[in-house]
Structure 1
Amino acid sequence: MKVTHLGGPTALVEVAGWRILTDPTFDPPGRRYTFGWGTASRKVAGPALPATDLGDIDVVLLSHDHHADNLDDAGRAVLPSAGAVVTTKSGARRLGAENVRGLLPWASTVLEAPGKPSLNVTATPCRHGPPLSRPIVGDVVGFALTWEGGPDGQFWMTGDTVLYPEVRAVPERIDVDTMLLHLGAVQFGITGPLRYSMTGEEGIRLIELAQPRIAVPVHFEGWSHFHEPQDHLRATFDAASDDVRSRVRWLEPGVPTDLA
């Protein structure tokens, strides 16, 4: 498995001949984006590589389509050329394209391509905010992947979520080999102390539960609504147990990294 972190939640994952892009965000920095209900954020850093440098994409794993820090305009332009886009049920209705598949949590789809092993994609639960926030923040999912000849455990992209019981229970249902861990402690001034994604401390607790071989932090830089940047997160993880520290892999943006 090779992973290239491109910035924010966006990563290129290459496994068994599949080229998988997560939450495409390729707009340049500077623009302010509104997220609804008075919330907004400014993009403060661009991608490590432009979308045009990536080549063909077989699959886009889109945790949700309605927030620009997970799908911005340049990222949206990538979707039509992808072999398949897997996202939420509501997102699939909004996108309305033939190559888009929508999943509810714990539903699965199988992707096929010539010369590649079948790729099984299962949506995992997320709650992108405090209790009772789903009607406001919308549907979000993570993804668990398996393929013939792959590791014993699964690749798990957590998606944008806080740490709540349904996410804590994911490791009870799947064995995790590699985790793409969405962090950032997202907050907005208008909603005060309420958070919409995991903190580093919560990420540590999830690693302790899931026991992945490797955990790759993403979704913590590049936008003004992220409140735990990399230096803060590194200090948090450096203070964790030896077991947790041994599992965390920080990726240099734009550099393909072999996680085998």
Structure 2
Amino acid sequence: MPKNPYYTGPESDHFDGTRFFNPQGVEPGGLGALLKWQFWENRSKWPAQLESPFPRSRPAARIDGDALRVTMVGHATFLIQVAGLNIITDPVWSKRASPLSFAGPKRVVEPGIRLEDLPDIDIVLVTHNHYDHLDITSLRKLHQAHAPHVVTPLGNDTIIRKAAPSSKITVMDWGDRLELPNGVTVDAEPCHHWSARGMGDRRMALWAAFVLTTPAGKIYHVGDTGFHDGINYRAAADKHGGFRLANLPFGAYEPRWFMKGQHQNPEEAVKGMQLCNAAHVAGHHWRTFQLTNEAIEAPKEALHRALDQAGIARERFRPMHAGEVFDVPTA
């Protein structure tokens, strides 16, 4: 077996001693499928640059009491302000979601908050190690400016420490719970995805969703996931009872024959909202980097159709734009 460069630990129901896996799940497509997608599928053309309908945000220093505020930076990067804590998810401020500065998916919409305009950051949640979620340049800059506590699934600490060796990092397995300040806890929960930074490290670091339990309610942050028959959504509802807010991906889903196992589409995201019992959703993973084939506005159009068909008010599931501020209702 190849050596795992990131993690050494006991086997489990989702780790075989070298690689992590989704129990009863679907493995990501191999090289042949990737080449078929790249050379035989048609990709919609995105604009090289696009403005957000919202201005860049200058966030408040802190949010307390029952308030819950979420500001979209872009892709899966949110600033969550709750219970006096400032939390960043999957921070990517770089121009490209790529190991290369000159090639790979390029940002088409500027970040909704400039790095220098961030308030003091306490916690950073990194769900997995794909380049559109784990960006070492952004993590290094956040460490230099804020020295936040980084929380991430097993194995990803090895990557992050190369960028910021002195970072405070907590690694979590599925089912682990971590106590944070101000009466906040974070649980690492399963999602149906995978990991890789290159050709030889596939599934050698874990991926996870996070549940924040706060005095202002529960927040479910899913960075990337396939729908997986709703298994993980049902489990989250059974364990946590429901959520004031879920941050759910609803873009980067075409072609379905290649993406279905790892990226849910808008219709599946709406089903996930219902199954996990989320009162409100901040939708992400769209309109920032072109990773897949669909047109830039297609996820929002499909989302609205799915919400209308399900009889769910559109304002309950927001397709978040860079700079958009969402003060999440209490009921």
1:174-185 to 2 correspondence within 5 Å?
174=240, 175-185=242-252
Mark the runs of 5 or more structure 1 residues left unpaired by the alignment.
130-134
Select the residue among 137, 157, 175 that pairs with 2:221.
Answer: 157
8 Å CA contact 1:126–1:160 kept in 2: the answer is yes
Q: 1:67 to 1:109 in 2, by over 3 A?
A: same
| Aligned partner of residue 312 in structure 2, secondary structure | helix
| Aligned partner of residue 237 in structure 2, secondary structure | helix
Mark the runs of 5 or more structure 2 residues left unpaired by the alignment.
1-67, 195-200
1:145 aligns with 2:212: yes
Q: 1:111 to 1:101 in 2, by over 3 A?
A: same
1:1-260 to 2 correspondence within 5 Å?
1-28=68-95, 31=96, 33-34=98-99, 41-64=105-128, 66-76=129-139, 77-79=141-143, 81-96=146-161, 97-112=166-181, 117-128=182-193, 136-137=202-203, 138-147=205-214, 149-151=215-217, 154-164=218-228, 165-174=231-240, 175-186=242-253, 193-195=258-260, 196-228=262-294, 231-239=297-305, 240=307, 241-243=310-312, 245=314, 247-260=316-329
| Aligned partner of residue 220 in structure 1, secondary structure | coil
1:132 aligned partner: none
Q: 1:45 to 1:73 in 2, by over 3 A?
A: farther
CA distance in 2, matches of 1:257, 1:32: 25
8 Å CA contact 1:27–1:47 kept in 2: the answer is no
Give me the identity figure in percent.
24
Count of matched residue pairs:
241
2:52 aligned partner: none
Which whole-Å deviations, capped at 9, do the CAs of 1:75-124 have from their partners, x for residues lacking one? Answer: 22214534311101211233344411011112110112xxxx22100011
8 Å CA contact 1:216–1:251 kept in 2: the answer is yes
Instruction: Mark the structure with the bigger radius of gyration.
Output: 2
Q: 1:110 to 1:234 in 2, by over 3 A?
A: same
| Aligned partner of residue 209 in structure 2, secondary structure | strand
- Structure 1 letter corresponding to 2:92: T
| Aligned partner of residue 202 in structure 1, secondary structure | helix
TM-score normalised by L of structure 2: 0.65
| Aligned partner of residue 112 in structure 2, secondary structure | coil
In the TM superposition, residue 68 of structure 1 has moved relative to its aligned partner by: 1.7
Q: Please state which structure has a larger fraction of its residues in strand.
A: 1
CA distance in 2, matches of 1:251, 1:42: 19
